[in-house]
Amino acid sequence: MKKFLMLICAAMIFLTGCGNESPAAVTTEKVLTANDTLTLTYEGKIAASDSTEIMSPVFGNLMEKYVEDGSDVTEGQMLFKVCDFGPYADLLQIKVELAEDMTNLPKAMSDLQNAEKNFSAQEIADKKAAVENLQADITKHQEIIKQMESTMVKGIIYAPKSGRLEAVDAQLGLFVVENETVIATVGNINPVVVNFELSEAESKILAANDNLKISLKLSDGTIYPHEGTFKDGLIFFANPDENLALGSTAQIVIDGVKISNGLFVPENVIQNGETGTFVYVADNKKAAVRKIELGDKIGNYFVVKTGLKADDSIIKDGFENLREGVSLNVDDK
């Protein structure tokens, strides 16, 4: 009997506790409309502006580099040599043999002079033949080198314009495809462009806004002192002191974006479940699920086609463990 009474008491305590469940603490904000301004953020990579790709005019391997990555080059400057590995190796071997002959020739000529003073006619003839053979070899090697290099001249790559060189893939020995493999690029260091993914819809929206404030958050968290400009789908930043390093990453922050019509919600409040895409809203201090249909993605927001009203309060923080009908302790932002 005593055990039975204890079970009844435990059950009553459990039921009482469930009935007094604490409201879930959440933060809400109104659905954004055409009357609101958006702040869009994008992850980007800094690159030279007005950049031109450099490709090989021939098939082969990248065998020589005449400049270092990051160098300033002038139009027409020799940058790379591309040719087949086999003939290039043969050319190098012939150049080694030529160098050996050039080194041996002065000694052979000195030996001939000594022989003419101190040795017999046969020894003089031998020394003279050695000199003549070396001279003939030198002439032959020089002619071969000239001929081989003339056939490889088509693989010499020159700078198409002046600017800063960025080596995209310029490892020696790299096999390149004619007019396809991008070896490097050359462009302007001031201003720079920040490359990022931008849809056609986003580009049209940004182009329609005249009073954008574009800033750049660097990898160390600091804000770059110069504001950016949006033009032709690209964002440019002045770089007079070359503080923006090519290839480094940064976050683009665009303030003051207005969109002519529609409703918008932040990407991070959108959830997907078995029944589809939804968000939580606060309705009379209760959590309510709203199934939504999404349109275009605009930065870190989505256009909402159906499922929400302009006066809905979406739950943006604290929704992780919610369920339909849970009481809420709402902090309106």
For residue 212, pLDDT over 80 is answered with yes
Q: What pLDDT is recorded for position 216?
A: 97
Q: What pLDDT is recorded for position 10?
A: 47
Q: How far apart are CA 297 and CA 316, in angstroms?
A: 18
Q: What pLDDT is recorded for position 122?
A: 79
Q: What pLDDT is recorded for position 188?
A: 95
Joined tokens for residue 282: 């606060």
Residues 6+ apart with CB under 8 A from 292: 265, 270, 277, 278, 279, 304, 305, 306, 307, 308
Joined tokens for residue 116: 């003419």
Joined tokens for residue 96: 């080694």
pLDDT higher at 233 or 215: 215
Which of 6-15, 76-85, 164-173, 222-231 bottoms out in mean pLDDT, i.e. has the lowest?
6-15
The residues facing 78 across adjacent strands are 158
pLDDT digits (tens, 9 = 90+) for 2-30: 454 444 444 444 444 444 568 888 888 88
Could you say which architecture CATH assigns to the domain 25-50+196-333?
Beta Barrel (2.40)
* % residues pLDDT > 90 (the chain): 34
Q: What pLDDT is recorded for position 84?
A: 54
104 three-class SS: helix
For residue 333, pLDDT over 70 is answered with no
For residue 221, pLDDT over 90 is answered with yes
Q: What is the pTM of this model?
A: 0.64
Q: Mean pLDDT highest for which of 84-88, 237-241, 285-289, 295-299?
A: 237-241
Mean pLDDT (the chain) is 84
Q: How far apart are CA 295 and CA 270, in angstroms?
A: 13
Q: Please answer whether residues 301 and 314 qualify as being in contact, where contact means their C-beta atoms are separated by less than 8 angstroms.
A: no
For residue 136, pLDDT over 70 is answered with yes
pLDDT digits (tens, 9 = 90+) for 78-88: 999 887 555 66
151 three-class SS: helix
Q: How far apart are CA 259 and CA 33, in angstroms?
A: 8
pLDDT digits (tens, 9 = 90+) for 243-288: 999 889 999 999 999 888 889 899 989 988 888 999 998 888 888 9
Closest CA to 81 of 11, 2, 151: 151
Average pLDDT rounded to a whole number, residues 182-196: 94
Q: What pLDDT is recorded for position 149?
A: 64
Which of 32-46, 170-184, 198-212 bottoms out in mean pLDDT, i.e. has the lowest?
170-184
Q: Please answer whether residues 85 and 108 qualify as being in contact, where contact means their C-beta atoms are separated by less than 8 angstroms.
A: no
Reported as a pLDDT band with limits 50, 70 and 90, residue 77 is very high
Q: What pLDDT is recorded for position 164?
A: 93
pLDDT higher at 92 or 317: 317
Report residue 247: phi and psi, to 5°: 90, -10
Residue pointed to by tokens 């580099």: 65
pLDDT digits (tens, 9 = 90+) for 31-67: 888 888 889 999 999 999 999 999 988 878 888 899 9
Q: What pLDDT is recorded for position 153?
A: 53
Reported as a pLDDT band with limits 50, 70 and 90, residue 236 is very high
Q: In 251-289, which positions are buried (b, 16+ CB within 10 angstroms) versus exposed (e)? A: bbbbeebebeebbbbbeebbeeeeeebbbbbbeeeebbb
Q: What pLDDT is recorded for position 152?
A: 56
The dihedral built from the CA positions of residue 95, 96, 99 and 101, taken in this order, carries a sign that is negative
